[in-house]
């Protein structure tokens, strides 16, 4: 039996980067002390979610991944506890800027994933700040198991989870920043957000971990109230653990990765796939490719 214990965290963020990193460290300590081997922090936790508005000065928050303060800080913590820490950062690479995830295992950087799907809507103006990711989807062989990861808006696309599962992931991680819709505060997307990822989990027979932020953040043109509700599923999409909408929390769950691997084979979903029939998905309008 091979057990994997994962954790999701959630917290509010301000403009003091050192304070945000210290708060995140406290959560990582708490999760590691409780036995978590893979610990997920939320998207872009070094600052407030700055994409609410298009502000030229905020473009300069980006920097090279290897020089990022959070990456440097959490490498030592990852080594201390021998844990896997995916760290969400605003990355600059020459003249390109990305919403990136640096995967750290036992203090070593295994690689970087750059967010593939970049949203653009009221309060979520990410296309102003980020180039579309160019890394493709990756699964990392870590000391705790095979870890696949994507970032926030990626979680709405079933192709992301399917590809990560096809590549052999034991778990799919989604660091997130999502909350109220500034153009219509009657919209509360939390349940839809959760069910979307639960569906990915069920369809691929793989556990999913989502880590969201909390708190109300004011921008120049709007404000967003982030609704937390970080959660972890089992390999059938059922929630094993769930955080509240408003409180700083750490949640944990464990599962048997070998049992999940056997179940994925036995269920027949991957045996019965017909990739040769799926060419239309490579088009924008669903028309047959010529």
Please pick, among 51, 52, 152, 249, the residue that the annotation labels catalytic. 152
Give the other-Cβ count within 10 Å of 232's Cβ.
Answer: 26
- Report how far residue 109's alpha carbon sits from residue 74's, in angstroms, rounded to the nearest whole number: 10
Please pick, among 13, 51, 52, 115, the residue that the annotation labels catalytic. 115
**Residue 131 near residue 97 (C-beta atoms within 8 A):** yes
Give the other-Cβ count within 10 Å of 274's Cβ.
Answer: 6
Give the other-Cβ count within 10 Å of 169's Cβ.
Answer: 24
At residue 139, φ and ψ (nearest 5 deg) are -120, 130
**Packing angle between helix 190-204 and helix 158-166, nearest 10 degrees?**
30
Q: Confirm whether 126 is a catalytic residue.
A: no
**Residue 279 near residue 32 (C-beta atoms within 8 A):** no
DSSP 245: S
Please pick, among 13, 43, 126, 217, the residue that the annotation labels catalytic. 43
**Residue 56 near residue 25 (C-beta atoms within 8 A):** no
Q: Confirm whether 185 is a catalytic residue.
A: no
Q: Confirm whether 43 is a catalytic residue.
A: yes
- Report how far residue 170's alpha carbon sits from residue 140's, in angstroms, rounded to the nearest whole number: 10
Catalytic residues: 43, 115, 152
């Amino acid at each position: 039996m091979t057990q994997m214990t994962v954790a999701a965290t959630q917290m509010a963020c301000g403009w003091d980067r050192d304070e945000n990193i210290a708060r995140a460290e406290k959560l990582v300590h708490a999760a590691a002390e409780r036995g978590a081997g893979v610990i997920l922090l939320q998207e872009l936790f070094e600052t407030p979610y700055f994409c609410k508005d298009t502000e030229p000065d905020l473009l300069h928050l980006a920097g090279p991944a290897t020089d990022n303060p959070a990456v440097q800080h959490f490498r030592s913590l990852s080594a201390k506890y021998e844990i896997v820490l995916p760290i969400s950062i605003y990355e600059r690479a020459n003249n390109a800027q990305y919403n990136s995830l640096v995967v750290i295992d036992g203090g070593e950087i295994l690689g970087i994933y750059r967010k593939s799907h970049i949203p653009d809507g009221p309060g979520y103006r990410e296309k102003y700040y980020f180039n579309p990711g160019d890394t493709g989807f990756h699964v990392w062989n870590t000391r705790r198991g095979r870890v696949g990861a994507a970032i926030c808006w990626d979680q709405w696309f079933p192709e992301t989870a399917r590809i990560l599962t096809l590549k052999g992931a034991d778990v799919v991680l989604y660091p997130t920043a999502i909350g109220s819709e500034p153009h219509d505060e009657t919209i509360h997307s939390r349940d839809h957000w959760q069910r979307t990822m639960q569906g990915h989990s069920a369809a691929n027979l793989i556990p999913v971990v989502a880590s969201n932020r909390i708190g109300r953040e004011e921008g120049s043109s709007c404000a967003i109230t982030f609704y937390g509700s970080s959660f972890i599923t089992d390999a059938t999409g059922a929630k094993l653990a769930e955080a509240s909408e408003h409180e700083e929390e750490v949640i944990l769950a464990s599962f048997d990765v070998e049992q999940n691997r056997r179940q994925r084979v036995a269920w027949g979903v991957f045996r019965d796939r017909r990739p040769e029939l799926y060419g239309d998905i490579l088009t924008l309008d669903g028309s047959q490719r010529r």
